[in-house]
Structure formats: structure tokens, C-alpha cells
Structure 1
Amino acid sequence: MKFYVATDHAGIDLKNWTVEFLKEKGHEVIDLGPFSKERVDYPDYAHKVATSVLEDTGSQGILICGSGIGMSMAANRHEGIRAALCHDAYTAMVARGHNDANILCFGERIVGLGVAESIINSWLESGFDGGRHCQRVEKIEL
């Protein structure tokens, strides 16, 4: 699978770990930055990932900031993006299965490496369940 990944200054360490973790699992990863801990504005990076995911059919995104909240809010401004803020493996599974989420968001100040690993693994192992969820997902786009 192809992933576009980005963060702000508050998530650099977890972003770097995430990029390597995905590559080790055999996924293609495009790191959209930033590449230092110098202060940046999270919406700029959320928009980069959302735009990339929309332009590259079948790809997915991962956005990280301090809490994950700002990134998910900014990404969800894009029609066709369903960015899910996940704090554990269960929320990642449900985001994929019930909501057909295409961008995973989490916060470096909220989750540690072990939890991040379980979130990503759950995301990777889950797919959209379809069925009764299709109509609900369609209603997200008004």
C-alpha cells in the first residue's frame, strides 16, 4: 500500500518512526515533512497529505501532530477525505471497517510507540466492511 505521511513540529519523532515502521512492513511511503522540529503550521501539512491521497487513487495517509485533533480537522475539510483520529487499535479498526477512513491521525503527545504500532497494525489489517456502512459513508459527503 502507498502512504503519504506528514506531521507538524510536535510529531517529528513519531512521524520518523512511523515512516520506518511502514517501510519495514513493505509499504511505499512518501514523507511530506517537515524534516526538523522548527515550528510549522499543521494545516499546511494536513492539506498536503489530503490532496495527495485524493490525487493518488488507492493511497492512504497518516497525519501526526501533538494531539492529532488539528490534523484531523484540517484534513476533513477536503471533500472525499475521511480522516480518523485514533487512540487505540479498536478505533483504527472501526474507522477502516465502518467509516472507510482514508487518513489515520494520532498524536505524539497522546500515544507511545507501542500504542502507535498497534494502531497502525490494526489499520493495515482492516478494510472497509461495506454493506450497511456504504449508505452511511455516502451521507458524509453532502
Structure 2
Amino acid sequence: MAVRRGAVRSVVVAGLLVLGLSGSAEARSGPEADVAYHGQMSLAQGQLRVWLVPQNEGPAALPNATLRLRLSAELADRQELAEGCARAGLREVVCETGELPLHGQGRHIGLLLELRERVPEVVVRIDTWWNGGAADRDLSNNQHVVLALDTGDAYAF
């Protein structure tokens, strides 16, 4: 799968800029949206499979957002990531959601992440890294912590 480097780079840079503005009036004056992530993951023989769908319950549409996956185990050096996704550290991956229409879904995101070492379990934290400065009053549906055991079983969130 090819990665659109320009698009991912702009999302990552925008995310860093927003993080710097998070306490300012500019960041709080954006639209209000309720971003949510639903999906499943499984761990088998050092490979973590993640499939998720970003959603927006409103009250405003968002042109784009960036979700972040943080793992308790290190990623292998080489990763073949889905389009719109980029590695953000030894244990982090960020992915753009695409447009999040009011009461609609963003693009489906599927990842096959290779771990540096085979581990019996991995904890994955999922959250919104950047949302264009939108206010999100319900973080319970876009912040997840999932424990996946190395059994190949799917864990839903």
C-alpha cells in the first residue's frame, strides 16, 4: 500500500501546530463535533491487525481528523502502512480519518502492524491526536484502551 507522504506530512504538521495551541482561545473557538472510533483488533505471532471506522455524531462536520494508536510494544523498523497513515514514534502510528460528515463515517482504516518482538499481549491506546480545533465534549467514544492477547482472537472496541 502506498502512503501519500504529502498528505500525511501536512496532517502531522497540522497536528503539532494544534497541540501548541490547545490551551488558546483559537483552539476552543472551532466547531463542536463528537468523534468516535469503533473497530476490532487481534494479535497473532507478532502481528497486530487493526480495523476501525471513525465516526462523527455532530453537531458539525469535520473536514479531517487524525487518530493515534499507541502500543505497549515497539513496532518493527519497517512497516507497510495504509494510505494516510504514518509512524509517529517507536510505538505510535497516526492516521488521517478523511472527511467526517455530520452523523457519518470517515474512511475505513486497516493496519497490519509488525512488532519488533513477539509478545504475549499488547495494550493499544486509541485517541484523537488532531481534530482541527473542534470541541469534543464526549471523549468516552474516541479514547479506548484495548488489551489484545497473542491468541489471534478479535477484540472489539
TM-score (ref. length: structure 2): 0.28
Structure with more relative contact order (C-alpha pairs < 8 Å, separation 6 or more): 2
Greater helix share, structure number: 1
Query: Highest Rg: 1 or 2?
Result: 2
Greater strand share, structure number: 2
